[in-house]
Amino acid sequence: MATGLLRRLASACVVAVVLAAAGGCSGSPAAPARSDSPAGSASSSGHRVVSADLEKRIQAFLDVDNGGAFEHVRAISVTVDARPVFERYYHSTAATTGNVFSVTKSVMSMLIGIALDERRLRSVEQTLAELLPKYAAVMPAQVKAITLRQVLTMTAGLPADPPDLPGFVRTADWVAGILREGTQQPPGTSFTYSSAGSHLLSAILRQASGGSILGYAREKLFTPLGISTIPAAEPVAREENLAAYNRARFAWPTDPQGNYVGFTFLKLTARDMDKLGRLWLNG
């Protein structure tokens, strides 16, 4: 079941972000593996001195006993002014991928931004009734009026994430389940962290792009950044597909209707995360 897959993956990995980007996941602590000496590859002697000093300070911080604070970290990557100055890997290598959890939400919002720029989506003021017309019949009136801006900013009034699992993952149609459940507060009144909204973005982008979101992401985001996505595992998020998901280098599961999960499960390397981080930092 999807609930079992979500629960097991949610307990399997911790993602850490350091400056530009870093990803983490492991079973138990281990001695770190050095990268291919990113600090030594700097183009200027001044940068090498700064990198060497920063590397020593970061390593000294990591060497302090922090009561197991870094126990589940898979990778640490630090970039300054677009130059890598520190990389360490624990039970992994630079090529190892892992579930980046809610960074998936940010990737989904980036793709929505690209679609807006390309006029595949007309405006952030478009409503869910306009954006998801095939689901209009199951939307309460208040849900129909929710805008794309409100979904993107998590001010749509959709239910907050519970301590365990969002209820919609137990339904046969996740998008319909989210829309039927409706709002818990009036849209536009306050921020509520909601994975439901991020998954709606996946369905919205699929409708707007008229094709595979992964194909769109490859063309517009991943491939230009040098993020490898081939081959890709695209299993339905169910318990029986967990082993295939874990084996895959790159993976992005879908819901039962084929919408890529908009709020978690995307698998990337730490260096991939760094590329996304630098893109955000550069505006």
Q: Contact 22/274 with Cβ under 8 angstroms?
A: yes
Cβ(42)–Cβ(48) under 8 Å?
yes
- Residues 73 and 140 placed together within one structural domain of the fold: no
Q: Are 87 and 122 contained in the same domain?
A: no
> Under 8 Å CB-to-CB from 105, ≥6 apart: which residues?
195, 198, 262, 263, 264
- In angstroms, the CA 91 to CA 179 distance is 41
Under a CB-based contact definition with an 8 Å cutoff, are residues 59 and 123 in contact? Answer: no
In a domain? residue 182: yes
Q: Are residues 138 and 201 in the same domain?
A: yes
Given 30, 65, 97, the domain boundary residue is 97
- Claim to verify: residue 68 and residue 196 sit in the same structural domain: no
Q: What is the pTM of this model?
A: 0.84
Query: Is 216 within the bounds of a domain?
Result: yes
The pLDDT value recorded for residue 1 is: 41
Query: How many structural domains compose the chain?
Result: 2
pLDDT tens, residue by residue, 178-192: 999 999 999 999 999
The single-letter code of the amino acid at 76 is I
- 111/233 same-domain check: yes
Task: Determine the structural domain holding residue 89 and report its residue range.
Answer: 10-97
Res. 221: pLDDT tops 80: yes
Sign, CA torsion 154/102/110/234: negative
Return the closest-CA partner of residue 127 out of 179, 90, 167: 179
- Three-state secondary structure call for residue 36: coil
Within its chain, how far is the Cα of 19 from the centroid? Answer: 17
Q: CA nearest 188: which of 143, 156, 141?
A: 156
Same domain, 190 and 254: yes
> 106 and 60: one domain?
no
Q: Which of 82, 97, 112 is the last residue of a domain?
A: 97
* Whether 164 and 38 share a structural domain: no
Predicted confidence (pLDDT) at residue 50 exceeds the cutoff of 90: no
How distant, in Å, are the alpha carbons of 11, 169, 199 from that of 252?
Answer: 18, 16, 13
| 247 pLDDT tier (thresholds 50, 70, 90) | very high
- Establish if 185 belongs to a structural domain: yes
What is the Cα 230 distance to its own chain's centre? 18
**H/E stretch holding 12:** none
**53 & 170 share domain:** no
CATH of the domain at 141: 3.40.710.10
C-alpha distance from residue 258 to each of 110, 133, 214, 237 (Å) = 20, 17, 11, 10
Q: How far apart are CA 23 and CA 17, in angstroms?
A: 6
Same domain, 40 and 160: no
The answer to whether residue 70 is domain-embedded is yes
pLDDT in tens, 63-112: 887 777 777 889 999 888 878 888 999 889 999 999 999 999 999 999 99
Domain contains 1: no
The pLDDT-based confidence of 47 (bands split at 50, 70, 90) is: low
Q: What is the pLDDT of residue 56?
A: 87
249 lies in a domain?
yes
Enter the tokens of residue 168: 């919609």
Residues 89 and 149 in one domain: no
Among the residues of the chain, which ranges form H helices? Answer: 2-10, 45-63, 103-117, 128-131, 141-144, 148-152, 174-181, 195-209, 213-217, 223-225, 242-247, 270-281
By the 8 A CB rule, do 68 and 85 touch? no
Characterize the bridge pairing of strands 33-34 and 83-89.
antiparallel
Are 89 and 117 within one domain? no
Q: What is the pLDDT of residue 51?
A: 76
**DSSP H helical ranges for 183-269:** 195-209, 213-217, 223-225, 242-247
Phi and psi (nearest 5°) for 182? Answer: 75, -155
Length of the chain: 283
Report yes or no on 177 lying in a domain.
yes
158-175 mean pLDDT: 95
pLDDT digits (tens, 9 = 90+) for 98-119: 999 999 999 999 999 999 999 9
pLDDT at 49 exceeding the cut of 90:
no
Residue 221 resides in a domain: yes
Angle between helices 195-209 and 103-117 (to 10 degrees): 30
